[in-house]
Structure formats: structure tokens, C-alpha cells
Chain A
Amino acid sequence: MSAAARHVLIVDDELPARERLQRLVAELPGWAVAGSCSNGSDALALVGKLDPAVLLLDIRMPGMTGIEVARHLGALERPPAIVFTTAYDEYALQAFEAQAVGYLLKPVRRERLEEALKHASRLSTPQLHGLATQEQPLAARQHVAVRVRDELKLIPVKEIRYFRADQKYVTVRHVRGEDLLDESLRTLEEEFANEFVRIHRSVLVAVAHVEALERSGEEGYALRLRGEAEPLPVSRRQVAELRKRLAGA
């Protein structure tokens, strides 16, 4: 590895695919393989450790898709540039074209790889958002990523009890504590519309964690969540919608 070489992290669940990309990258002057891994969570951990310049990221992987990995990386202060790789995926390709995101088709050609690495750039928030909404089948994330110092911490969506908007950040309250998230409550509400329901101007609650809806005070309501000592106040305007969702769940 020459000192000036820029580092690439390869993420693909298939061994032959990883081996081939490793060889191709190693053969390119000015580029070096920082490492490789076979799934999204390992990739997020390795990005913090290895600080690669570019991520070659497969889309269709078990557990966490490449798109989801990219969205989590967006939470980093200095995320690596991303080039997606795919053998065939109509949905994803449409989204990439629409968002002008770099991608490579497998089997990857050497010249194309060189070109893509050279022009690889970080994904902007609108691009990430665009990918998420256009990629219909992959829309909702399985985790949300929060930045703890310079590393990413993944919180499974299933463990989240509620999101609460404060002035600038959103607090994620989950089974293991609380974290700060750099996303807006509106986009979270859109993305997780199936699992979460708005109970207040600034609070989004996981339907699965609700224990009971109870009266509080004169005409008010409060929502009790499993594992939470304090009930959450429910705004009167949201009561009907909340009742409907609880009945459906």
C-alpha cells in the first residue's frame, strides 16, 4: 500500500463477489483495499475503525440492505463516499438514476470501477431521502443510527418506545436508554407510519410498546408504555386516531 493510496471498504454478502472486487481495487494504481465485510452492521463498525474514503456497497444483503447502511452513514460527521454495487435490481437502479448516485453493475468492469471510484462522492441528505422514498420495497429501516462520539450506534426500530422532538434534536427513547438523533420528527413519522403513531405535537410512540390509554385530570388522556414509569400526555386532537391504531394493533 503506497502512502498516498485512498482506501476502499468492500461490503458484499457473497465471497466470490468480495474477492473479485478486492483484486480489481488492488490492481488500480492509487487505490488500496482497507478491508471487507459481509453485512451492513459490520460495515458500519468498520467505517468508524478504518475511515475509508469510499465504500463499495452491495444493495441486496441479508439483515440490512445497502441503502439502509448508506442512510445510517449519513448520520456521521464525515461519512465516506459511496458507490453501490448490484447484479440486477430494477427498483434500486431507478432510484440511483433519479438521485444521480454512483453505482456499478456486477460483474464490474475494471475501467468502470476506476471511473466510479474517482467520481465517488458523499451522499447528500436529499439524495439519501430520495433513495429511501423511491426504493419502495426497502422503504422503512430496521434500525436507526445515532452518533456516539465518532462512532455509529444502531438501535433496532423494534426496541424504540418513542421519539420526542426537542428544540434541535429528536430524542430516541428505547429499551436500553436514550439517545439523540439528527433527524426530523416529520420524516420519522412518514417512514415508520406502520409502527408508530403521533400522540402529541412532539411525540411519536411505537404502537407495539403501548400498555394502556388512561384518563388523566379533567378531560385529558395519558398513554402508559411498557417499561416506562411516567405516562406520556396525549393531546386531545390525537385521541381518536390513537384509539383507532390501538384497536387495529
Chain B
Amino acid sequence: MSKTGAVERAAEDRPPRSTLVPPALASAAGGRAAGVAPASPLDASLDDFFIPDFCATRMVFAVVLIAELLAVTLSLARPAAAFLTELARISMFLQWLGLTSAAVLCYARPRLARLTVAQSSVAVFGLLMVNTAVISALALWAGTGFGAAGIDMALFPREHWPFLLRNEGICVIVTALLLRYFFVTHQWQKHVKTEAHSRIEALQARIRPHFLFNSMNTIAALTRTDPARAEEAVEDLADLFRATLRDSHSPLRLKEELELTRIYQRIEALRLGDRLKVTWDVAELPMRAFVPGLTVQPLLENAIYHGIEMLEGGGTVIVSGRVVAGEIEISVTNPVAANGPATERPGNRLALDNIRQRLALAYGGRGSLTVEQSPEQYRVTVRSPFTE
């Protein structure tokens, strides 16, 4: 975390001076707000700025490393001089230059972030060139001072102007390269971020159109024959769709997820009648645990679409859940038609891939989805870590 960032955040937490709220209450409110409130506009532009935060330990280390590599390069490029003396001389100078430049950029970054890319680039050039001039002048001054004291002069530069101009030249080239590098890296990171975001959006669980239109048809039939059930079906459908429109980032309690799955089952039962039987074996599951939204419902949907609907006499879907070694394990098993179509529609794999990716986004490598298939049965098992 950056030092300046911390300072700014502290400033935000301070209650506004103009309000007449008692300090204790205000700080409580501030604390609560800090927990949920989005970052301030200043923070957002800082996060989105292409020049990295040079106060970060990682960046300081990188600066030291780059300065040293540059020193080695420059010493190698001067075969006339003794390599180690040359390296020591250039290293000392470049480390001073690098670290002070990092300090300057660290300090200037919040201000630079308010400028356009072109303006801030010019400003960085200016700042670093001034810094180079100052450090070069200091080196010359120190050299003269030590020279007067009779200490070995080999480590310090002698001529004033050629030394300064050479340094400025190297400074401009290195700065240009680094700015370009930062800019490209930043663009790339931005691209990756938006890509990940849109992927999550695209993966947001959806209800199959097949199910929607069939349910509408069932409701249309029931409005005459059984209006009470038609009403219930509309309510169920509304609940289910509301769930699919939820924010895809927030997980659901397992209890809610299973409730949604039961609602889905209720709607399908109207359409399929006796053909659909579902056995629930989930008493062992911790209902308070969190799961990514709509992971169980699509499994039942698949089991019905590819299994039960294809069987003339229908069949029984088994939904069972256990906790195994701290992991929640839910599996949905359905019977398969013996002489089902040889080529399965791609819809099934798409739905499973979708769940698989959402598990990966939610739990990294700790969530999984596996499929077991035999001529009579199809079973999908979802495992996720137990998070409360």
C-alpha cells in the first residue's frame, strides 16, 4: 500500500468540518462508510494512472535492480577502463540517481495523475532531467571536495560539462523507454481487467429460452383449467428470474440456492407431470454456507432437459449433498435414454463450462465440477470450499 494512499484515506475518514455531528458518531459513520464506500475520484484516477507507484517496496527494488543493470551495461561498454572501478563509480552514481528519481516520482505522482498522458510524460521528463542535473552537480561537487582532501579521484568525475550532458542524454533515453514500457503495460493490464469483467458478466447464469417458452405455454394452458396453479407458476417464474438478474459477483446462501432449485422443479413438474420425480438428499449440508449463485439449479435443468425429457416414462433425478473434508459436494444424477440421439447438443457442455468457469472465478483452483457418465446414468458433481 502506498504511503500517500494511506494519508489520503485517513483524510477522507476525518469528518467534514462544517457538520455539527459529535466526533464519536461521526467517526463511527466514517468508519462504516470506509468499509463499503467506493474509492474517491482521486483514488480512482490514481489507480488508473499509467506511471506506477514508486513508493511501493516492489518498485523501489525494481529501480535499484534496473540502475544496477544499467551500470553493468555502461561499464561493459567502456573496455578501456578497469571494469570493477568503472562499475563501482557508475553504480554509486546511478543508485543515487535512481533512488532520488523514484522519490521525486513518488512525491509527484498524485499531481501527475491529474494531467493527460502527454502532459504527465513531459512533466516526468522535466523532473528527471532536473534531478539528473542536481545529482550530477552534487557528484562533481563531492569529487572536487574529496579531491581537495587528497582522496583518490578515480571514483569521481572530473570534467564538468561533458559529464552533465552525457548524463542528461542517458536520462532522456532511459526515461523514454521506461515511460513507453509503463504505458504499454498499463494499457495491457486495463485490457485484461475489462476482459475479465465482461467475462463474468457473460457468465452470469441465464435461464434457457426453452424453459421460458415452455413455462409460458404451461401457464397459458393452466389459466383456464387451473387458475390458482397458474398464479403460483407466475410467482415462481418471477422469483427465478429475479435470481438470475442478481449481481453475479455476490454469492448466495446454500439455503437460498436450494430453494431456487425447488422453485424451478415446481415449474417443471407442472409441465412434465408424473414423468419428473426428484429425490432430495441434502439434510447434511450446512445451509448457511455460501455458494456462487445458480450452481445447483442449472444442474437440475440439465438433468431434466437431457435426461427426463428424453425418457417416455420419465425418471428420478437425485440431488444429494455432503460435506467431505471441509468441502461442500453436491451431485445431481439423472437417468439417460438408452437409445438417445448419438450426437448430443452442445448446450449441455456450454452450461457445464459456464458453471466450471464461475467456480474457478469464485474459488480459483479450490472449486471443481466433474462429470461421470455410464450408459444409464449421468452425474455431475460440484465441489466448493465451505465458506461461511
Contact = CB atoms under 8 A, between A and B. Distances in A.
Given A39-B312, A62-B309, A142-B339, A137 B345 contact: yes
A177 interface: no
The prevalent SS among residues of B at the interface is: helix
B217 interface: yes
A137 B213 contact: no
A137 B341 contact: yes
A202 interface: no
Interface string B325-361: 0000000000001010111110000000000000000
Given A14-B271, A107-B213, 5 more contacts: A14-B272, A62-B310, A63-B312, A106-B216, A194-B342
Interface stretch (B138-146, B218-226, B288-296): B218-226
B210 A88 contact: yes
Nearest to B230: A16
A72 interface: no
Contact of B213 (A19, A38, A88, A194): A88
Given A19-B225, A62-B309, A62-B337, A107 B217 contact: yes
Nearest to A157: B339
Contact of A106 (B217, B270, B273): B217
Contact of B311 (A62, A87, A137): A62
Contacts of B342: 140, 194
A158 interface: yes
B209 interface: yes
Contacts of A75: none
Contacts, number: 73
Contacts of B212: 88
Given A20-B217, A62-B337, A15 B309 contact: no
Nearest to A17: B217
A87 B210 contact: yes
Contacts of A23: 224
Nearest to B215: A87
Contacts of B217: 14, 16-17, 20, 87, 106-108
B213 A105 contact: yes
Interface string B253-280: 0000000000000000011110000000
A14 B341 CA distance: 20
26 contacts: A13-B309, A14-B218, A14-B273, A15-B273, A16-B217, A16-B222, A17-B218, A19-B225, A20-B217, A20-B220, A20-B224, A23-B224, A38-B312, A62-B309, A62-B312, A87-B210, A87-B214, A87-B217, A88-B209, A88-B213, A105-B213, A106-B216, A107-B220, A137-B345, A142-B339, A158-B339
